[in-house]
Each structure stands twice: as C-alpha cells, then as structure tokens.
Amino acid sequence: MTTENAYSEAMLGTTRLSEAAGRVLTALEAAGSEAWIVGGWVRDALLGNAPGDVDVATSAPWQESEAALEVAGLRVRETGVAHGTVTAIIGHEGVEITTYRVDGPYEDGRHPAFVEFTDEIERDLARRDLTVNAMAWHPARGLLDPFGGAEDLEAGVIRAVGDPRARFEEDGLRVLRAVRFAARLGFSIEEETQTAVRELAPLLSRVSFERIGAELRGILAAGAGGWPLREEREAMFAAIPELAPMEGFAQRSRYHSLDVLDHVCRVMDYVEVYTGGVASEELRWCALLHDIGKPRTLWVDERGQGHFYGHPAEGMAMTDEILRRFALPHDLRRRITTLVRLHDRPVQPTRASVLSILADLDELCPGAAPHLVRELMVVKRADAMAKAPAYRDYALEVDELDRMARELLSEDAPYRVADLAISGSDILEASGRAPGPWVGEVLRTLLREVMAGGLADAPDALASRAATIARALA
C-alpha cells in the first residue's frame, strides 16, 4: 500500500522535513489526529544545523497512533507506551511519536509520580526543559513557540521554560542539560537560569548515574574545551564530586603557574586546538580527568616544592571508579584509564623510549597502541602548553616523539612479543626442551633487547640469542 505524503516539499529554514516524518504526519492526520514536529529537530532546523532524529507529538493516544500508522502501511514498534511513545520505522529512519503529555508532580527530584495525557500541544510544550527545546512546527501551520524559543535561539540564550528553580527542582538533570545545550550551541545561559544552575546543582545527587553520565558525554561531545569546567564548575562538581578538590589546589611547583583546575581547563582547551575541535571521546575524558589524582598525592619536600608522585596511578584508579559509575562502555573506559595512567610517563626522542611507551600502551589496552599513542601525544602536548611558560617548549619535543612513533609503526617495529620474527614454538623446537614458562621469559628478554636496539629482529639472530638465554635460564 502506498501512502500519499502531503508534506514532501516541507522545509523549515533550509532544512527539509524527511519523507518519513512527512508520511507520519499525513498518516496521523488522515485518522483525524493533530500532530506536530517537536523538540530538537525544530531547534536544529531553525539554526540551520543538521538535525538529528525527528520527534512527533500528537493528540492521539498511542493505540490510535499505532492503528493510524499501520493503516498507512507503516511499521510500528511499541518503544515506550507507558509514556505514550511508539516508533514508526520507515526504511532506516525511526520517527518517535508521543502523545501530548503533562507530567504529574515530581516527588523525588528526578521523575514525575505519573504522566498524564492531554490534547493540548501547548501543555506538552510547557513541560519541556528549555525554551529552545519547547517549540513545535507543522509544515502547514508553521512555528508554535509559546515561550520565545526562536528569539532565544537568535540571541544565543539558554533559558528554562517557566521558573528555572521550580523546573530544576522537578528534575535535577535539567541543570546539566542547560550546560550541555549551552556548550553545544555556544550559547550563554540567561541570568535567572544561570543562578538556578549554580544554586541547584547539588540536586544532581538525586539523579541516576546513568542519566548524569549520558549528559556528561553530551557535554564533552560539544567540544567546548575547558568552558564547562571553567564557567559551570558547580554543575560539573555536582556531576563528578572528585573534581571539586582541584579548585584552588596550589601545585607549589615551578612547573606550574596555575592551580590544578585552571591547568585542567587549559589542557581541555589545547586538546581541541590540537585536534581541530574533533578530539575523540577518550581524549576529552582524559583531559578532564588526567590530574584527578593530584589533590590526593601532594607531597611537599623540605624546600617547599610540591610533588605528586603516584598521581597517574591514583588518577587511573579514580578514573576507573568514576567511569564505572556512569556505565561507560568497557572499551572506552579502558582507553581513557590507559591515557590517564600514562599521560605523565617520560618519553625520550629515542627509538627505545618510544617503543617502550608503545609496549606500555599495549599492555594496558591490548591492540590499541597505534591509535592511543597518537592521542597520548596530543595529551602530552596539551599538558606541556598548560604548564608554566618555561616548560612549554616540551610541546616541541612531543612533536618529535609523535613523528618517531608514526615512523616506528609504519616500519612495523616490534613492541609486542608477537611482533618478533621468532615464535614460542620456534624456540621450543630448536631447544628440544619441554614447554614451560621459560619460553615466555626468553621471548620477553628478546623483545627487550630488540627494542633497546642491541639485537636485530631477524630469525637467525633471534634464534641464536634465544638459545643462549635459554641455556642461562636452565
């Protein structure tokens, strides 16, 4: 069955409504329901940014939406019927359709005691968090904007819908959502909303770690460098309490002219500079958390100089704990903790030293060294630039390390036992001895010697050296 799409030419600004969304509107209206495009799509289309998923709000209860969509020949999934949501699947696109909703009272600072459905779009828009997210658009009826979202978009302002304090008290996550959208759009936060963000940030303690983690990932994905931590530290500290002791934490060290927090903000800025604003998620988390272990590891020597021995190991443990809390994907967490652990490891511009950092990366995060070494260099460069002026030229040395790492990788220089031109079974066979842990010991010794440059990675040279080592071990 084919469905006529009455809105196939519909545009908002320079953004065309997808054919899928047009078909959904047509299907719902054919059944006598009212429907609007709402939320993020409207915001992004007005900004001329590439819009994400389309969300549709409708007067129809979900059962009626489902029936109307099926009559129009569309596939439907019941993706959240408790909240009135079904999803139409059209080709590769999913369009969420949600019944107009008013939230019941919030009793716990994170979700409404119940949701109530309504047939008024204005009431649905009023429950939304920010004015820029509380607009509806219809291809024939145009923009519905009861809270001045378009004007705020124009002015670059993030403003809560209604009384910011009341809205944040309903759901503490909105504090972080305000920061996320300000970071992503490069907007400022309107004064009253900003005051509420500062004062009510502690409400985040009532919100689940999963929701906080998802917003934090969104904040980092905005690529705003140190801005969130510098300007919205109350919200960031409430989201990750371990960040707070970095504020005003004097480093008492000639290497540093800033406190730990300002240093971290600058590293976050430089990471964006060095990656052209498209740093990976692991780099951004690493920049945020690389010195998280410093406040706990300060040791002041007899001349009054501060040292932070062990801060990378402490930082790695703390980072792991924080990222587990937010249920970040396991692989991502491992890449981040690896970078935090090694960010301060000295590397010299020699083959041996660069190979040894590759080996360390591989040990902590097997298989990821070729990619992680490049990211580690970005962190090291950014870290150097955020130190006292006299120590910034280390960043130039990092350029040389980076060049060497690329060269070693392109010539397949060995940094793992498996890279050697000899295998465990070769060694066993040549020796005639029974297998045992000694084989691994021989291989590791060979690798160390090859990496140090004293032994060629060639089968004959390795075999004869292996025999000597094996004899010494016997």
Give the residues lining the site for ligand ATP (CB under 6 A): 39-40, 52, 128-129, 133-134, 171, 173-174, 177
Report how far residue 216's alpha carbon sits from residue 236's, in angstroms, rounded to the nearest whole number: 8
Chain centre to alpha carbon of residue 384: 23
Site for Mg ion in 28-57 (CB under 5 A): 40
Chain centre to alpha carbon of residue 123: 33
DSSP conformation letters of 246-294: GTT----STT-SS-HHHHHHHHHHHHHHHTTT---HHHHHHHHHTTTTH
**Between 39 and 139, CB nearer to ligand ATP:** 39
**Contacted by 256, from Mg ion, ligand ATP, none: CB < 5 to 8 Å by type:** none
Report how far residue 323's alpha carbon sits from residue 326's, in angstroms, rounded to the nearest whole number: 5
Half-sphere CA count of 249, side-chain side, radius 13 A: 22
94 binds Mg ion (CB under 5 A): no
Q: How many CB atoms lie within 10 A of CB 7?
A: 21
CB 203 → ligand ATP: shortest distance, Å? 12
Contact 414, 451 (CB under 8 A): yes
**Between 41 and 415, CB nearer to Mg ion:** 41
**Contacted by 387, from Mg ion, ligand ATP, none: CB < 5 to 8 Å by type:** none
CB 55 → Mg ion: shortest distance, Å? 7
**Between 40 and 245, CB nearer to ligand ATP:** 40
Q: How many CB atoms lie within 10 A of CB 310?
A: 12
**Between 129 and 282, CB nearer to ligand ATP:** 129
**Between 31 and 150, CB nearer to ligand ATP:** 150
Contact 204, 175 (CB under 8 A): yes
Alpha-helix residue ranges (DSSP H) falling in 290-349: 294-297, 311-325, 330-342
Residues 6 or more apart whose CB falls under 8 angstroms from that of 226 comprise: 264, 265, 266, 267, 268, 269
The candidate with the shortest Cα–Cα distance to 150, out of 125, 116, 167, is: 125
**Contacted by 269, from Mg ion, ligand ATP, none: CB < 5 to 8 Å by type:** none
CB 44 → Mg ion: shortest distance, Å? 10
**Contacted by 229, from Mg ion, ligand ATP, none: CB < 5 to 8 Å by type:** none
∠ CA 445-450-452, nearest 5°, is 95
CB 210 → ligand ATP: shortest distance, Å? 13
**Contacted by 171, from Mg ion, ligand ATP, none: CB < 5 to 8 Å by type:** ligand ATP
Contact 389, 350 (CB under 8 A): no
Count of residues binding Mg ion (CB under 5 A)?
1
Report how far residue 38's alpha carbon sits from residue 30's, in angstroms, rounded to the nearest whole number: 19
**Between 96 and 314, CB nearer to Mg ion:** 96
CB 207 → ligand ATP: shortest distance, Å? 9
Contact 355, 415 (CB under 8 A): yes
**Contacted by 129, from Mg ion, ligand ATP, none: CB < 5 to 8 Å by type:** ligand ATP
**Between 44 and 232, CB nearer to Mg ion:** 44
Contact 326, 309 (CB under 8 A): no
**Contacted by 133, from Mg ion, ligand ATP, none: CB < 5 to 8 Å by type:** ligand ATP
**Contacted by 215, from Mg ion, ligand ATP, none: CB < 5 to 8 Å by type:** none
Report how far residue 324's alpha carbon sits from residue 317's, in angstroms, rounded to the nearest whole number: 11
DSSP conformation letters of 47-59: HTSPP---EEEES
**Between 101 and 263, CB nearer to ligand ATP:** 101
**Contacted by 286, from ligand ATP, Mg ion, none: CB < 5 to 8 Å by type:** none
CB 53 → Mg ion: shortest distance, Å? 6
**Between 40 and 148, CB nearer to ligand ATP:** 40
**Between 228 and 312, CB nearer to ligand ATP:** 228
Q: How many CB atoms lie within 10 A of CB 219?
A: 26
The candidate with the shortest Cα–Cα distance to 370, out of 340, 334, 402, 397, is: 402
CB 424 → ligand ATP: shortest distance, Å? 50
CB 214 → ligand ATP: shortest distance, Å? 9
- Position with the least CB separation from ligand ATP: 40
**Contacted by 174, from Mg ion, ligand ATP, none: CB < 5 to 8 Å by type:** ligand ATP
CB 129 → ligand ATP: shortest distance, Å? 4
- The footprint of Mg ion (CB under 5 A) covers 40
